[in-house]
Amino acid sequence: MKNIVIIGCGQGIGFAAAKILSENCNVIGISKTQNPEVENLNIKFHPMDILSGNLDEINFPDIVDGLVYAPGSINLKPFNRLSVDDFKNDFEINVLGAVKIIQKLLPNLKKSESASVVLFSSVAAKLGMPFHASIAASKNAVEGLAKSLAAEFSAQKIRVNAIAPSLTDTNLASQLLATPEKREASAKRHPLHRVGTAEEIAEMTAFLISDKSSWITGQIFGIDGGMGSVKL
């Protein structure tokens, strides 16, 4: 069985990915979110904030076949209300946390015959969207990181890809979908006239972790209801 590490498995897309991947993989989950439902999954769970926690405290498998970095942020403000700290915080969550765990597990990933790393961008990295300056800056950095590492790690047969969702029905987006009116307005912004689900994004995550995607690396996959490429 493959050994898969999922950061941010406590809720949203990370939780949905843990649910799917734990069916046929050994999953090691790390999250600062205490979700009682995680205890029902067949995973080894470690409560930890990836940014401040000491990863040396976790006994990772000698061989790691897959790494999913799912933490994210939705910090939507007019540019003149965004502080430098806002930009720093979004960058730490979306980029530096990924850098930290990839550097920690790189020796383990190199020992796998077919390792895969999945990161998360956003449709906002591709489209110019108002009030998204901080998150778009961070997610574009994620895409650059994914492509650079895909090139650098190709000699070790480590694949690196990113998924760029649009608005997805998760706890992170709960305020944006808090009322039927907000949900309807969000749905209408997408060509398919609905928001995405965590399970849909998780299915793509599981595919990219699996050997079914063994010839795919350095790619950004827009799972966004058509928002990133279709204009009606």
Q: What is the pTM of this model?
A: 0.95
Q: Is residue 98 part of a domain?
A: yes
Which pLDDT belongs to residue 8? 97
Q: Is residue 21 part of a domain?
A: yes
Closest CA to 72 of 163, 189, 161, 2: 163
Which pLDDT belongs to residue 173? 65
CA 134 to chain centre: 17
Closest CA to 173 of 193, 192, 205, 197: 197
Q: Is residue 101 part of a domain?
A: yes
C-alpha dihedral, 24 to 29 to 35 to 36, nearest 10°? 60
Q: Is residue 232 part of a domain?
A: no
Give the 3-state secondary structure of 66-129: EEEECCCCCCCCCHHHCCHHHHHHHHHHHHHHHHHHHHHHHHHHHCCCCEEEEEECCHHHCCCC
Count: domains in the chain: 1
Q: Is residue 129 part of a domain?
A: yes
**Domain CATH code at residue 90:** 3.40.50.720
Which pLDDT belongs to residue 181? 84
* Residue 23 CB contacts under 8 Å (≥ 6 apart), including other chains: 42
Q: How far apart are CA 133 and CA 76, in angstroms?
A: 8
Q: Find the domain containing 199 and state its range.
A: 2-223
203-232 pLDDT, tens digit per residue, is 999 999 999 999 999 999 999 999 999 988
Q: Is residue 231 part of a domain?
A: no
Q: Is residue 77 part of a domain?
A: yes
Which pLDDT belongs to residue 91? 98
Pairing mode of beta strands 115-120, 25-31: unpaired
Which pLDDT belongs to residue 47? 96
Q: Is residue 42 part of a domain?
A: yes
Q: Which residues pair with 13 in a beta bridge?
A: none
Which pLDDT belongs to residue 34? 83
Where the chain has pLDDT below 50, the residues are none
